[in-house]
Amino acid sequence: MKIATYNVNGISARLPVLLRWLAETKPDIACLQELKAPQEKFPEQEIRNAGYEAIWHGQKSWNGVAILSRAGKPEEVRRTLPGDDEDTHSRYIEATVDGVVVGCLYLPNGNPAPGPKFDYKLRWFERLTHHAASLLHSGKPVILTGDYNVMPTELDVYKPENWVDDALFRPEVRSAFHTLVAQGWTDAIRKLHPDEKIYTFWDYFRNAYGRNAGLRIDHFLLSPAVAGRLHAAGVDKDVRGWEKSSDHAPVWIELK
DNA sequence: ATGACGCCATAGTGGCGA
């Protein structure tokens, strides 16, 4: 079973690239972030024609997450992260697919830091960590994947010294990620590729992709029941070089 | 510091997000 995550940065603008990527790589499950479209503007028919059933949580202008599946419609568990009824951002959706619980998330960017947006990021991280603990406690096979907006270590940044004060790399955020993983999750990419420079995002600015000035911020966290089935993991880096690409590349894992 | 995108408002550019 192949599961992928892709921050599309606008599903309307990205639809041709998204459909081509789905056709070429055929993930069984695809988690999407940054739809940047209201609920009714999700291209359900085009996705269906591509062979996928989907659930999604849209929002006008910003955020928005979706789970696509080729093996029957994802069975929705929740479409908000618990812990704050006032939170209006569409940043989390969770479903059961093929016996696996899949949480698709778009963690806040948090810039500028410090400030209210950074505070929101840290609060969101705490809520995620709390929810993740209950998922682990369930003993079910769980995959938490998406855009975490965190580079976990210096290996995950093309030039770490430039990023130490950024909301994606500040000590509080790296610490929050570490605390989450330490609950018992497996960072799939790092499990299989512990020493490689692997990036999932390249800025649109200054030819970042051409210079490989990238960041690893899209992650797969696997519960113990899934981690034992991990067979392969990688990044569809070439997709980032396509015309009208997102600033992220798709990331994927294969389970036995 | 700059900048590239996609989004929206009320438009024919500018602001925001990241």
Q: Is residue A63 annotated as involved in ligand binding?
A: no
> What range defines the domain where residue A234 resides?
2-255
Distance A209 CA to B3 C1' (A): 14
Tokens of A26: 């055929």
Q: What is the pLDDT at residue A206? A: 87
Tokens of A242: 């396509």
Are A5 and A251 within 8 A, CB to CB? yes
Distance A160 CA to B1 C1' (A): 19
| Protein residue nearest nucleotide B4, by CA to C1' | A204
Burial class (CB in 10 A: 0-12, 13-18, 19+), A109: middle
Compute CA distances A216 → A102, A204, A232, whole Å: 20, 15, 17
Looking at the structure of chain A, the number of domains it has is 1
**Protein-contacted positions of strand B (CB under 7 Å):** 2-9, 17-18
List the pLDDT tens digit at each of the 256 positions of chain A: 999 999 999 999 999 999 999 999 999 999 999 999 999 999 999 999 999 999 999 999 999 999 999 999 999 999 999 999 999 999 999 999 999 999 999 999 999 999 999 999 999 999 999 999 999 999 999 999 999 999 999 999 999 999 999 999 999 999 999 999 999 999 999 999 999 999 999 999 989 999 999 999 999 999 999 999 999 999 999 999 999 999 999 999 999 9
The pTM (predicted TM-score) of the whole model is 0.97
For the domain that residue A242 is a member of, what is the CATH number? 3.60.10.10
Tokens of A142: 């769980």
Burial class (CB in 10 A: 0-12, 13-18, 19+), A80: middle
